[in-house]
Structure formats: structure tokens, C-alpha cells
A and B are shown apart, each in its own frame.
Chain A
Amino acid sequence: MSISKSGAKSLDLLKKLPRISLVNLGPNPGAKKNEKRRGRGQHGGNRSGRGHKGERQRGNRPRLGFEGGQTPFYLVIPKYGYNEGHSRRPQYQPLTLNKLQYLIDLGRVDPSQPIDLTQLVNSRGVTIQPLKRDYGVHLVAEGAENFSAKVNIEVQMASELAIAAIEKNGGVITTSFYDPRSLCILCKPVPFFTRGQPIPKRMLPGEDLLPYYTDAKNRGYMAELAKIQEARMELARTYGYILPDITKEELFEMLSMRKGPRQIFFGLSPGWVVNMAEKKILKPTDERLISYYNSS
């Protein structure tokens, strides 16, 4: 109320004032500060802010980190193995169950369709930077007490309590691996389709992450379905809730939708070219291409 009233008051005041034109405008007082001009005037001149004699005034100071010959700090501290390759390690953007519930409640994410990283990015719930060694999203269990949505969600990493919270509400959670190129395509599909390249095969995880994604406890996409069923029942026993039977749900078909190990998008196979301008999909006809894209 007060905002519109003060806006209306100032618009009324304008009626009495001269016409606003190119000659009467200026920045707000204090907005523009004059820049420092070296070598001009009583205070900027004389030595121009360089000090008195020596390397400082003559611009000959040594490189950053040099300590006059004493072993510099950055060389005194020894290297150690636990830091090796720290900048190349895969990073996962956290997604709390609180935030997921918030997005579903506000209608930014549709729980009646499988929730993918594309859906999360489109709803601006997470920001993934594939070029900064982000390998996807990590589902974190903060807000597990208040989570009450039945969803088919696919993330890249999930904590045990988060898996339990999703399955308790009758949902399905899968963890799957996306190599950086596939992740880039998954996060921003439209710019990829405008490039006119065929959808690539999703690469399999390397030897470090393979045990994670073949483990049923993490609901990995490469684990066997029977073992996943056992793991669901065991988790229910551990956390003390009754595991709801999803085969008897209306949305069972949607909840059981899963991507193939080499598939990036639901409904699109690797090797297809999507033409957004003409709304057409082009599929390969050459045998070699078909066998390459269909092989796992």
C-alpha cells in the first residue's frame, strides 16, 4: 500500500515540474564517485602514489609470493596426497528434500511425470555447472520429516535417509551416472538440439564410481532389480516404516519408467537428431550407425 502511495505522490509532484527531457537528468547524488587520477594536481601529482625511490617507485618489484630469497610460504608447506587432483574430483550440487517439496508445492516441478535433472534445472531449483566438474545433483535428507510427495526421481547421488523418505511416500528413486558431455546436454537440451548433432550415448561410469552405481543400496541404475527390491524392504525395516506397494497404484507405469543405461532423454534414443525448427526427429538408417548406437 505504502509503495504505491509514495509512487503516486511523486508522479503527482511531476505535474508541477518542468518537462523531463535530456537536459534535466542526472545521476542520484553519491552514485558517481570521481575516479582517482594519478599525476594530476597537488595530491595526485609529485610521486603519483608510487612512494619514494627503490623498486616500488621504479616498478621493478619481484613476482608475487617472493620473500626476498627466504623460502616462500607456498613452497614451505609440503604437498600431500590427500590434496592430489582436488580440482578434478566430481562435485555434486546438493538438493534438500525441503527444496524438492517446495518446488512441488509451488507447481514448478510436476510430480505426475518422472523428475529428471532437466526438470529440476528448468524449474530453477538447482544450478548445475557441468564445466566446473559438477557431475550432477546429490539428494540430501534435510527436511525428510516434512517430505510428503510421491515422485519418480532420478538423481546422481542420494543419501540413505533421503532414499528412505522418498520410498516411504510411495515414490521411486534411482541414481544414475552422466558423463560431463551428457550432463551438459541433459541440463540444457534446447541449445544442444539447435546444434543439429545426433544424441550421443551416455558413457558408463569409471572404475571409481562403478561400485556406487552397481550397488542396490544406492538404488544404482546398473544394479539388479531383484536386489533393489530386497534393499527397499531392508531399508523399510531399518527405519521402521511400512513399504507401500507401488504395483497397485494408478501411476505405477509412470513410477516404473526408467532410462536405459545409454539413454539421456526419456523417449529419445542415442543416435537420433532432433530438428526443433521443423519439429522432426531424424533416425539413422545405416547399419553401422544403428549397431553402434544400439550396442551397450
Chain B
Amino acid sequence: MFRRSLSVCCRQIGKTFLSTLPEDVGLPSNLKLPPNLISTAKRERPSPVGSGLPVLRKCEIEIPPQLSAKQAWLESLKDDTLGLVELHPDVFAVPPRLDILHEVIVWQRNFKRISHAKVKTRAEVRGGGRKPWQQKGSGRARHGSIRSPLWRGGGIAHGPRGPTSYYYMLPMKVRVLGLKVALSTKLAQDYLHIIDSLEIPTPEPQYLLDLAKQRQWGESVLIVDVHEDMPENILKATANLKTINLMPVIGLNVYSMLKHETVLLTVDAVNFLEKKLLWHDHRYSPLYPFRLPYNDFP
């Protein structure tokens, strides 16, 4: 789906979807907006590159010389924009591998799945040990048991047998790349925001809902911080909210990132993510599991 759109967009770079000119005939039918739609487009924010605001956070890990750091706005849940942050391009500007996103999401859905469906075979169904009638002479079809799969009430020949596990592991580097691609695509489509801390003035859920509406974050927001011990106000505010969710950064996963419309990362979370995700680019192959200590590397 995306590939067709990409090829269309290659021909029409610079045109937005709200164009009602007859040229959007080239778009696929599911992307054409009806002409009487009340405009709900997000107002475009100015790009952070040209503005004169100070860069408040530089990447700790070295950026390769041929790449340049991505810049993003540093916002606050209380006040206005505070400044800019620099993000590592090898985490926040990787090529958008949508097929890897798909693979990781399918894995996340299926690896935990254990299907408990089980049906009885002809051996397990109660009864059916005796031959119902003699082989020859009765005029009826020959049968050996009343619980064969041919019979009503008989066992199932090839049914689901017992708890089946759908467990499999994608390679570690594929899962890491999935996280990087998800972060990059969220940033590219303007759905990723960096905030300095999670402090809010009131524990009212309405405050967050109004904030989300005012800043046009969309229907659902995922707020990510490093540790689970977050300020009380935000914990109380999000406790009964279904669309705004808190998460420690170790729980960050591609499914949650794509399910929520906007993702808010604190600066500490960005540090943690960059360190952890970039380590996999230059590590050695494991001799034994990484949870056992290694001396110098990885």
C-alpha cells in the first residue's frame, strides 16, 4: 500500500492531500479525502532547524562525520517550547523499513500466543470400543467403532491438539532495528515530541486532555520516561485515562508506539535509548548470553 503511494508521491512531490484540484485523481481511492470535509489537518509546526533557539541537549555518542544530527523541539508539559535537542541520526533518522515494522509487530502479537484449543480424537471420545454390528450380513455399511470421525458424535480426525505454542524469536538486531525505524518514522511524520520532565501542575486528567487538544497531539498519547517512579501528579492524572498512557523506557515497543498517535519522550529516555540502541551496531557476537558479565566488550 505504501509503495503505491510512494510512487504516486514521487510524481507529485509537494502536493498535500487537501488539494481539491482534479490532479488528485492519481491517488489511490482510500487516500482521497471527500470534498466536503471540515479541515482537521494538523497545522504545520515550523522546522526546528532554522530557528535561533539554543540547543539544550547534544548527543553523547559520536555521530559519524557523513551524517548530521536531527534536531527536534524540546517542549514542556507546563510551559512553552524550551529550545532544541539534537538526536542521533542512526537512531532517529534510519531509512523507513516498513517491512521490518510489520515483522516486529507480527512477532509481538504471536510469540506470546499459546492456543489452548484441543479436541478429542476417536481414541479420547467416551465409548466406541465395540464393533457396532457384525462385518457381514446386516446390509449396513461396515464400521469398527461408533466414535470414528465419520460418525455423528465421533472424534475429530485432524483437529487442534493440545496447547500449541507460537513462540519464535526474531534476531536481536532485527528487533533493535524495528525500534529505530519506529522512532524515525514517528519523528519524520511529526508524531514524536521530546519533553524535559513529566511535571504537571495538577493531578487532573482534564489538564492532559486539554493539553493534547491544544497542541494537536491526536487521540492517543504514549508518555515514556526512564524509571517507573514518575511524579505523583502525572500518575494520578493518567490512572483512569485510557488514551494517555505512561511507560518506562524498558517497556518501549513497536506495537505500543504505532498504536498511540503521539509519543512523548523525556530527555533521559532519549539518552537511554540512544545508548542502548547504538550499542548493537558495534558490538561483537555473543559467546554466552549478554546477561553474564563481559570484561572489556561488548
Contact present for B95 and A31 (CB under 8 Å): no
Question: Which residues of chain A have C-beta atoms less than 8 A from B255's C-beta?
Answer: 22
- Beta-carbon contacts of A247-287 to B below 8 Å, as 1s and 0s? 00000000000000000000000000000100000000000
Contact A191 B188 (CB under 8 A): no
A27 / chain B contacts, CB cutoff of 8 Å? 99, 102-103
> Is A31 a contact partner of B96 (Cβ separation < 8 A)?
no
- Number of A-B residue pairs having CB atoms within 8 Å of each other in the complex: 94
* Cross-chain contact of A24 among B1, B93, B95, B292 (Cβ < 8 A): B1
Asked if B21 is at the interface of the complex by the 8 Å CB criterion, the answer is no
A276 to chain B: closest residue by CB: B293
User: Size range of the interface on A?
Assistant: 35 or more
Q: How far is the CB of B24 from chain A (nearest CB, A)?
A: 12
Q: Which of A113-137 contact B (CB under 8 A)?
A: 121-122, 124
Interface residues of A in 6-22 (CB under 8 A from B): 6-8, 10-22
List residues of chain B with CB within 8 A of the CB of A25. Answer: 98, 101-102, 105, 258
Residue among B2, B101, B284 with the most chain A CB within 10 A? Answer: B2
Q: Which residues of A contact B93 (CB under 8 A)?
A: 7-8, 11
How many Å from the CB of B173 to the closest CB on chain A?
A: 16
Q: B96, A14: Cβ atoms under 8 Å?
A: yes
Partner of A22, one of B67, B94, B99, B258: B258
Main secondary structure of the interface of A (DSSP, over half): loop
Partner-B contacts on A (CB < 8 A): 1, 3-4, 6-8, 10-22, 24-29, 31, 121-122, 124, 187-188, 190-191, 194, 276
Q: Is the CB of B6 within 8 A of A6?
A: no
- Residues of A contacting B94 in the complex (Cβ-Cβ under 8 angstroms): 7
Extra A-B contacts (11), CB below 8 Å, given A7-B95, A14-B185: A3-B95, A4-B66, A4-B67, A8-B93, A11-B184, A13-B9, A13-B13, A20-B185, A21-B259, A21-B261, A194-B292
CA separation between A3 and B3, bound complex, in Å?
19
Report if B39 contacts A (CB, 8 A). no
Contact yes or no, A17 B5, CB < 8 A: yes
Query: Within the complex, which residue of A14, A21, A121 is in contact with B188, where a contact is CB–CB below 8 Å?
Result: A14
Q: Does B288 contact A (CB under 8 A)?
A: yes
Residues of A within 8 Å of B99, CB to CB, are: 26-28, 31
Which residues on A sit within 8 Å (CB–CB) of B3?
A: 29
Could you show 7 A-B contacts with beta carbons less than 8 Å apart? A3-B95, A7-B95, A10-B95, A15-B188, A16-B17, A17-B9, A17-B189
Q: Closest residue to B5 on the A side, CB-wise?
A: A17
Closest B residue to A14 by beta carbon equals B188
